[in-house]
A and B are shown apart, each in its own frame.
Chain A
Amino acid sequence: MIIPIVIICLTLTSLMCIYRVIKGPTIFDRLVAADAAGIMVAVIIPLLGYHLEEPFLYDVALVYGLLLFLDMLIFAKYLEKGEILK
């Protein structure tokens, strides 16, 4: 009973971060809000896996978090140095 309530609350907070992604003044506001929204979704996925009793969703959450971390590092390097691969 508590699991769908937690999923709904996390979806609402993720949508509040998506608003900042759309309306941010600089690109770094958008990036940090997108990072926050992505980690909220990465936390939603194990909750959904517990609620639906589907064990493979934990692996999906692990890979999602890994790709999010790589994504943010590539964006940071591109914005700092102007190039990714020398």
Chain B
Amino acid sequence: MSLREIMGIISFIIGVFFMFITAVGMLRFEDVFMKFHFGSKCLTSGAISILSGVILFKGMVWGTGKIIIMIIFLAITNPIASHALAKAAYSKKILPKNLSRDDYGGQ
């Protein structure tokens, strides 16, 4: 087992840890906005770690460029989708629990 594969295994372990944290957060938390927090941060970092592990296993060949494009694409689009859904949830008058002051609403 070479050094590259050991680094790939470490990257896989980090990515699976973040994905498991995301799933536990989806199951345990009750508020919608806490789920948006998990869905935009932990999910993106887990996906980037696992795809980096695939790159380390594969080596620099021609098909690796597609995975690099996919990493850049996920890092851009996943927070945008979470932001759009959170804005739609706010417009439907869904507020976080234990909210003391609403700065976004302008009151």
A32–B32 CB distance below 8 A: yes
Chain B contact-residue range equals: 35 or more
**Partner among B23, B36, B57, B84 whose Cβ is within 8 Å of the Cβ of A73:** B84
B47–A39 CB distance below 8 A: yes
A13–B88 CB distance below 8 A: no
- Report A46-65 residues with CB < 8 Å from chain B CB: 46-47, 50, 55, 58-59, 61-62, 65
A16–B12 CB distance below 8 A: no
**Bound CA–CA A3/B77 (angstroms):** 26
Q: Chain A: interface secondary structure?
A: helix
Chain A contact-residue range equals: 35 or more
- Report A1-35 residues with CB < 8 Å from chain B CB: 2-3, 6, 9-10, 12-14, 16-17, 19-20, 26, 28-29, 31-33, 35
Q: What is the chain B residue whose CB lies nearest that of A6?
A: B12
Give the A-B contact count at a CB cut-off of 8 A. 131
**Bound CA–CA A11/B67 (angstroms):** 20
Known: A19-B27, A35-B81, A39-B47. A26 touches B16 (CB 8 A): no
Query: Can you spell out 18 A-B residue pairs with CB atoms less than 8 angstroms apart?
Result: A2-B9, A6-B12, A9-B16, A16-B23, A16-B24, A26-B89, A29-B35, A32-B82, A33-B35, A35-B39, A39-B43, A46-B67, A58-B63, A65-B70, A65-B77, A72-B84, A76-B87, A80-B92
The 3 closest A-B pairs by CB, nearest first: A76-B84, A72-B81, A16-B23
Q: List chain A positions with a Cβ less than 8 A from chain B.
A: 2-3, 6, 9-10, 12-14, 16-17, 19-20, 26, 28-29, 31-33, 35-36, 39-40, 42-43, 46-47, 50, 55, 58-59, 61-62, 65-66, 68-69, 72-73, 75-77, 79-80
